[in-house]
């Protein structure tokens, strides 16, 4: 017999025995197979009722003739497992009331009443020959050590899943699961700490997270980009072409501060870069490089790098702005740098700490560490003016967006600032991809730029606007803008962020 079977039999035996012998309620108990037996309390109650002349008689006829109507009497049962049959004299008719088990019936239940003083046992299930089984109950009502040890060898998660579930429940209680009084609040359960304080895990009566739980989870998880903002792009993002120090990221910071937004704006603009180079610098499509000689030396000696095209397009980093970046190449941290001679850029990798030489037999991705800090921010992407094409700029923008870590990636993309009305078709591609997250800033500046800046149009401005070009009064050259232009762009980005509920 398995441990699970023993446990089931023990449970039934104990329950039935306790009801029959210990219950204070006078009632009938189903002891198995539909057989009903009275509790001792019922037997005593019935006997007390019969004390007004009730007796045990040798036959039903004798009992009827010897008792008054309404009184009780008993006769020996003819059944082998019964002691007496109780009747009530109902106006001269014997109405059977109950039947009582004899010692044989009790023995067939498998419960042996043992001498507790001698054995230390309250009950025990024995075999046919009276031998001890693994089911024993001590004086405290719990399984004996012998019984528990025997069952523990047999019980597993497969044959006793309920027992395992019970253990799991106790384990949950041990780590702070608290059932909350539903009459007091809208919480069905909550996880608390050792001091009883509510943690971030709590559920309403319908099973949904409580408002407090949802808010705390959102604060802990990178659900939405922000609150910080990083602006990636080329020289238009870098700004300050007129020497005033004005950039659109800087002006955006001023507007956000005045609005009360708690977030920092970072200027990640580097002049002269294509969308391919910008995307690689942001870590979305990393630079693909190969050490000349196929080896990263173990020393801190700089090794020359060959930069490979990314999906068919060349890259040209470090042309303006920083002259080096911290990077990781083939699992080795180091410095990515360049030299310039006769307009020719030569790139190098220098590991930060000495170690074993690393063979590099194929081109490897190289990631800039500086870009990793911005992946959780709201992204403002402005690129494509330096090529290679509108379609590639759109796909590169998508790569930067995908590289953001938040579940809800929040971003704004901006059209190329230069060009004429011929570029309206390119703007339509951007809009088709990004919708209201796209700002066609060239078209806006043509229509409203001078008015927003409070500038009276010159003849050249009028000609520019007719051609679909940003007015000359807002530009320092054919492409770059004066401070007024960058302030207008910052305001448009700010307005769009409010519309999209980024801030």
Q: For residue range 26-43, what is the model confidence (pLDDT) as tens digits?
A: 788 777 767 787 877 676
Report residue 485 as tokens. 């232009």
221-233 burial code (b ≥16 CB/10 A, e <16): eeebbbebbbbbb
Q: What is the pLDDT of residue 8?
A: 61
Could you identify the residue written with the tokens 């007390």? 48
β-strands 132-138, 121-126: how paired?
antiparallel
Listed in sequence order, the residues at least 6 apart from 116 whose beta carbon sits closer than 8 Å to its beta carbon are 122, 139
Q: What is the DSSP letter of 160?
A: -
What pTM was computed for the model? Answer: 0.59
In degrees and rounded to multiples of 5, residue 108 shows phi and psi of: -70, -20
CB-based burial label for 191 (10 Å; 0-12, 13-18, 19+): middle
Residue 394 predicted with pLDDT over 50: yes
Average pLDDT (291-296) is: 96
Q: What is the pLDDT of residue 474?
A: 98
Residue 100 predicted with pLDDT over 60: yes
- What does the alpha-carbon distance between residue 450 and residue 418 come to, in Å, rounded to a whole number? 16
Q: For residue range 255-289, what is the model confidence (pLDDT) as tens digits?
A: 999 999 999 999 999 999 999 999 999 999 999 99
Q: Which CATH class is domain 222-282+374-503?
A: alpha beta
Report residue 353 as tokens. 């700490």
Can you say whether the dihedral through the CA atoms of 15, 16, 19, 21 is positive or negative? negative
Least confident of 92-96, 153-157, 495-499: 153-157
Please report which confidence band the pLDDT of residue 221 belongs to, taking 50, 70 and 90 as the band edges. low
Nearest to 478 by CA among 424, 412, 420, 425: 420
Largest CA distance in the chain: 136
Q: What is the pLDDT of residue 113?
A: 46
Domain 287-368 belongs to what topology? M1 Pyruvate Kinase; Domain 3 (2.40.33)
Chain mean pLDDT for the chain: 84
Any idea where the domains of the chain sit in the sequence? 3-152, 177-220, 222-282+374-503, 287-368
Radius of gyration of the chain from its Cα atoms, rounded to whole angstroms: 44
CATH topology of 222-282+374-503 equal to that of 287-368?
Answer: no
Q: What is the pLDDT of residue 178?
A: 47
| Beta strand ranges found along 131-228 (DSSP E) | 132-138, 177-179, 187-192, 198-204
């Amino acid at each position: 017999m398995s441990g699970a079977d023993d446990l089931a039999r023990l449970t039934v035996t104990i329950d039935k025995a306790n009801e029959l012998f210990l219950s204070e309620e006078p009632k009938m108990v189903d002891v198995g197979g539909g057989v009903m037996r009275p509790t001792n309390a019922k037997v005593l109650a019935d006997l007390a009722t019969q004390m007004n002349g009730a007796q045990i008689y040798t036959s039903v006829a004798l009992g009827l003739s010897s008792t008054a109507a309404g009184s009780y009497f008993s006769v020996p049962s003819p059944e082998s497992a019964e002691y007496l049959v109780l009747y009530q004299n109902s106006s001269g008719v014997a109405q059977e009331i109950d039947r009582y088990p004899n010692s044989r019936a009790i023995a067939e239940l498998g419960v042996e009443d043992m001498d507790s003083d001698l054995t230390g046992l309250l009950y025990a299930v024995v075999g046919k020959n009276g031998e001890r089984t693994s089911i024993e109950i001590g004086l405290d009502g719990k399984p004996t050590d012998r019984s528990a040890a025997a069952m523990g060898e047999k019980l597993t998660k497969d044959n006793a899943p309920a027992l395992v579930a019970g253990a799991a429940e106790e384990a949950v209680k041990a780590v702070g699961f608290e059932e909350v009084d539903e009459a007091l609040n809208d919480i069905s359960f909550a996880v608390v700490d050792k001091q009883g304080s509510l943690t971030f895990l709590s559920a309403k009566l319908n099973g949904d997270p409580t408002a407090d739980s949802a808010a705390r989870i959102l604060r802990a998880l990178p659900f939405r980009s922000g609150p910080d903002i990083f602006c990636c792009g080329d020289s238009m993002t870098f700004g300050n072409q007129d020497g005033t120090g004005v950039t659109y990221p800087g002006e955006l910071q001023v507007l956000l501060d005045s609005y009360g937004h708690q977030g920092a704006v970072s200027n990640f603009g580097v002049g002269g870069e294509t969308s391919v180079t910008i995307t690689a610098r942001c870590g979305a499509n990393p630079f693909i490089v190969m050490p000349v000689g196929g080896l990263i030396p173990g020393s801190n000696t700089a090794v020359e790098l060959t930069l490979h095209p990314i999906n068919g397009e060349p890259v040209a980093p470090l042309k303006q702005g920083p002259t080096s970046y911290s990077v990781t190449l083939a699992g080795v941290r180091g410095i990515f740098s360049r030299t310039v001679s006769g307009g020719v850029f030569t790139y190098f990798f220098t590991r930060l700490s000495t170690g074993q030489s690393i063979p590099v037999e194929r081109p490897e991705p190289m990631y800039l560490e500086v870009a990793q800090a911005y992946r959780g921010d709201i992204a403002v992407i402005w690129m494509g003016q330096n090529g290679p094409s509108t379609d590639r700029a759109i796909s590169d923008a998508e790569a930067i967006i995908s590289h953001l870590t938040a579940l809800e990636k929040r971003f704004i993309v901006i059209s190329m600032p230069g060009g004429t009305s011929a570029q309206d078709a390119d703007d339509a591609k951007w809009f088709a991809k990004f919708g209201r997250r796209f700002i066609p800033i060239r078209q806006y500046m043509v229509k409203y730029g001078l008015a927003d800046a409070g500038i009276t149009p010159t003849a050249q401005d009028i000609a520019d606007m007719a051609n679909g070009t940003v007015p000359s009064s807002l530009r320092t050259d054919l492409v770059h803008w004066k401070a007024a232009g960058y302030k207008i762009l910052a305001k448009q980005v700010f307005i769009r962020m409010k519309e999209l509920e980024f801030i």
